[in-house]
Structures are given as C-alpha cells and as structure tokens.
Amino acid sequence: MGKSNLEMKTSTITTKNKEDHSSLKGTLYFVLFVGSFILVSWFAVFFLYLSRI
C-alpha cells in the first residue's frame, strides 16, 4: 500500500518536472528573434540599395 503511494507520488512529480524540463519555449523565441533580426537587417540594406540605383 504505502509503496504504491510513494510510487504514485514520485511519478507525478517526475511527470510535472518533465513537462517543465522539456519545454524549449525560450529556444523558440530565440530562433524567432534570430530569424527576424536577419530579415530586418537584410531588408534595411536592400532598401538602401534600391534608393541608390
């Protein structure tokens, strides 16, 4: 009885932890930021180019 209780407890804790641990939300925002930075700087120079031809 006691044993299975304990098991249950640890297993819920680990699932909870796991969900939090495996989140890559920060990485998602990071790559979105890198992508937009590339696009913005590329278009900035592209418009400079257009303004000079």
The residues of the shown chain that bind another protein, judged by CB under 8 A, are 18, 20-27, 29-31, 34, 37-38, 41-42, 45-46, 48-49, 52
Q: Distances from the Cα of 13 to the Cαs of 16, 42, 47, in angstroms?
A: 5, 46, 54
Surface-to-core class of residue 47, CB atoms within 10 Å of its CB (0-12 exposed, 13-18 middle, 19+ buried)? exposed
- Nearer of residues 1 and 45 to another protein, judged by Cβ: 45
Min CB(8)–another protein separation in Å: 20
Min CB(37)–another protein separation in Å: 6
